[in-house]
Structure 1
Amino acid sequence: MDIKKRDFLLAGAVLGAGVAATQAMAQSRGSRPINSGKQPSSVDLNYKPRRLNKCIELWEDGQPIYYTGAGVGPGVDPYEQGKKMCKTWADAINYEMEHGCFDLKELREFMRGLKDGGGTRSGHRLPTVFVCPPVIGLDEAYARANTWVIEQILCTGVMGIHICHARDPKAIETYMHMGSRYPFQDFPNTPKVKMQGIRGNSASYAADIWGVSGGTYQHIADLWPLNPRGEIMFGVKIEDTYADKTVAQTLAIPGLAMAEWGPGDHNLWLNGYHGVEDGGLSGHPVVRDASGKVIEDVSALPNMEAVRGRVLAQCKTNKVMFLNAAEVEPGHNHVIQQIKDGTMVVAAGGGGEDVAIIGREFTKRKMPV
């Protein structure tokens, strides 16, 4: 296998959704167009959106969503980048703050740019944005001390939170039901939960980004699918051996929308230091087994497949949307195979828009791109 192809496979599958989003982020900076404009043959060009969050709308129609990175970084004006990314081929944008800079001012400017970008081809005001914050699902006390991070992020106008290292179900429940919600206990057609939300009264910036009044924002800025009117999606990463032990309880929490298995992190936890070494000129880690043999696709190792299988099974049991990286290359990570497996949140990886084009055609999507 030539180096270029091997690196492509590593980026799309071995390193997982994190690296996939990073490569997609590089694409959004200019090496590829923001959107080729290619539509699936099944598209309805007279499509009218039903709700603000286009990803939730697609899920309600049984369609997978495709996401990319924000393209924000050193030397990039976040407002101007937001204006460009409003026209992205992707349904969602992952604004990465786990390893990226926790800069709420830049995030606000990016969201303002999205708002001013002129709307999406599907008729939605802006693409869905979800944030991976720097706080993790460590334990309940840690989560209670850091609910402020969740509120500050949501007040920028984003529509999703994605928590890394979801180890403790109580921590995730705290971030979701306390940190992400208003204190109303009487949302129509919405089950009551044990924890009461602590979001404060004012979210004028977020309401302006969404294009609604403050009162309307408070009525729809709630967790879907817990609240059928909710426009906020909450996700978790089951990406270490501690999270593996509690995955059934975590994915059963009411209101959870999506989950992933974090192959990049899981490889470090399951396969140890010997599993990754400097990739040299290729720019990607070279992965070897204990005998020194190069492994082209770590996600296909038995212990990795077992983890993926458990997370996928729990997603299906709890009607949570499964997240996985996908590729255009043949094999088990090909986008059509991923969709057949049950993937509903697709990290497009090195294939970028091409992955989404193939997937949308396969599922006969009607919403324009």
Structure 2
Amino acid sequence: MAEKVRLNKVIDLLQRGQPVFSYGTVMNGNFDELMAISRADYDMAIIETEHQGFDFSTLRNSLQYLVNRKRIAEKGNLQPDVVPFVRVPPYTREYGHNQWVIKQTLDLGPYGLVLPHLDSVEGAQAAVRAARYPQLPGVADAAPEGQRGWWSSLAPHYWGLDAQEYHDAADVWPLDPDGELLLMGIVENVRGIDNLRDILRQVKGLGAVWAGPGDLSVSMGKRGNSAHPEVEEALLNILAICKEFDVPCAVGLSPNADVEKRLEQGFRIIMVPPARSLDSLSRGRQAAGRSG
């Protein structure tokens, strides 16, 4: 019998100890760019709705432009080559009142969410609860209680599954080892760094952490200077905490950044410059032994 292939390529790579190369963020509704990304060698792309473009109808179309039927046919399974994630607008601490944003975003079919300003245990738990369906009583991963509402229309169709298959697959990894949804929180303020150990110790539904220098630099009084040495030190502190809990850590690159250095430091998700400037992507894949 053929080995079962994960639907979420990002989780598949992380489980096999391979680095993940992401486009970073592409604006919701930038269909030409999304179509170009679907033909590139990225492993994932993050559709941006935090700072602009928060419109569900546009997001539904954006997700379609990342579908590359030729690559799916050549691969012979349902795993997309470029996995769609969405960065949602609310800060993580707001999900006690904004579960509907996670619900309606996931109902369109992305395989993961990026959660801004991960800075509290309570906010992280609320995000996990909002992203998962209620579990059967007594199962090993029943907690935290899932609160995602059931709608069987768009997401199963986008994944190529029937409704029950989607229900079983669409749980958060690694809380559910077989789950195909990945939640990545952005640590981008000092409070988030201070609370990160508690978050990772108590919340098992986070699949990755993004060390975000932009807002972090503002939080540290550096006024957007993400290249400041103290900001770099803070990023490496986030990385060290993630390593302590064996949680993949993501980092973004500037066009001239040393991608090999970031891989050597232990970052497992690398966000490289846009598709029209592929040097960091190609060098990163070569450094990771994935140039084929």
Distance 1:85 1:304, change over 3 A: closer
* Contact preservation (8 Å) 1:82, 1:109: no
Identity percentage over the alignment?
Answer: 25
TM-score calculated relative to the size of structure 2: 0.87
In the alignment, which of 104, 124, 128 is matched to residue 152 of structure 1?
104
* Contact preservation (8 Å) 2:28, 2:48: no
The match for 1:319 is 246
TM-score calculated relative to the size of structure 1: 0.70
**Alignment length, in residue pairs?**
285
Note if 1:172 corresponds to 2:172. Answer: no
**What is the 5 A alignment of 1:172-251?**
172-176=124-128, 178-185=129-136, 190-193=140-143, 195-251=144-200
* Contact preservation (8 Å) 1:54, 1:91: yes
Note if 1:270 corresponds to 2:210. Answer: no
Q: CA deviation at 1:231?
A: 0.7
Q: Distance in 1 between matches of 2:34 and 2:281?
A: 21
Q: Distance in 1 between matches of 2:47 and 2:233?
A: 29
Matched residue type, 1:114: L
* Contact preservation (8 Å) 1:166, 1:238: yes
Matched residue type, 1:340: E
Distance 1:363 1:84, change over 3 A: closer
In the alignment, which of 250, 257, 260 is matched to residue 210 of structure 2?
260
When structure 1 is superposed on structure 2, of 62-71 and 229-238 the one drifting more is 62-71
The match for 2:268 is 344
**What is the 5 A alignment of 1:118-133?**
118-119=70-71, 124-133=79-88
* Contact preservation (8 Å) 1:118, 1:125: no
* Contact preservation (8 Å) 1:128, 1:159: yes
Q: CA deviation at 1:81?
A: 5.6
* CA-based RMSD: 2.6
Distance 1:166 1:125, change over 3 A: closer
Matched residue type, 1:198: Q
* Contact preservation (8 Å) 1:99, 1:134: yes
Q: CA deviation at 1:324?
A: 0.9
Matched residue type, 1:263: P
Q: Deviations over 1:192-213 (max 9, x none)?
A: 32x3112222232111110011
**What is the 5 A alignment of 1:69-80?**
69=24, 71-72=26-27, 76=30, 78=31
Matched residue type, 1:144: G
The match for 1:306 is 233
Q: CA deviation at 1:365?
A: 2.6
Instruction: Give the secondary-structure state (helix, strand or coil) at the position aligned to 1:119.
Output: helix
Note if 1:357 corresponds to 2:256. Answer: no
Matched residue type, 1:156: L
Q: Which runs of 4+ in 1 moved over 6 A?
A: none
Note if 1:87 corresponds to 2:51. Answer: no
Q: Distance in 2 between matches of 1:102 and 1:363?
A: 35
